[in-house]
Amino acid sequence: MAATQSDAPSSLANVDAFNALASDKRLQILEWLKDPVAHFPPQVDGDLVRDGVCSMFIADKLGVSAPTASVHLKLMTDAGLLIATRIKQWTFYRRNEKGIRALKSSISKSL
């Protein structure tokens, strides 16, 4: 069945999300951020749940450099899977549950 005009925007938006999910490291980040208190140490700035986890903690836990983590986190944010919050000179990331639910719904309707 061919895609219709109305199908195109959601299908194209899903491509970014699928690309973001096509990495074990990014899937691991999503898993850790389900329960940030269990997976990350307390932070000086920003609440782990309300504000998210500092990108430096995520990079350290992944075992990658800050620039590498930044690429992963930006891709996931651009895909609507994460929300970035800037506090002072740091960026904190938390799951975008609304975006994740929308992707799940879109997949369910498409398949």
> 24-49, pLDDT tens digit by residue?
999 999 999 999 999 999 999 989 99
Domain ranges of the chain: 8-110
What is the model's pLDDT at position 105? 87
* Residue-wise pLDDT tens digits, 83-100: 999 999 999 999 999 999
Q: Which CATH number fits domain 8-110: 1.10.760.10, 3.40.350.10, 1.10.10.10, 1.10.1040.10?
A: 1.10.10.10
Q: What distance lies between CA 40 and its chain's CA centroid?
A: 16
Q: How far apart are CA 81 and CA 94, in angstroms?
A: 9
Nearest Cα to 81, choosing from 102, 98, 96, 103? 96
Tell me if the pTM is above 0.85.
Answer: no
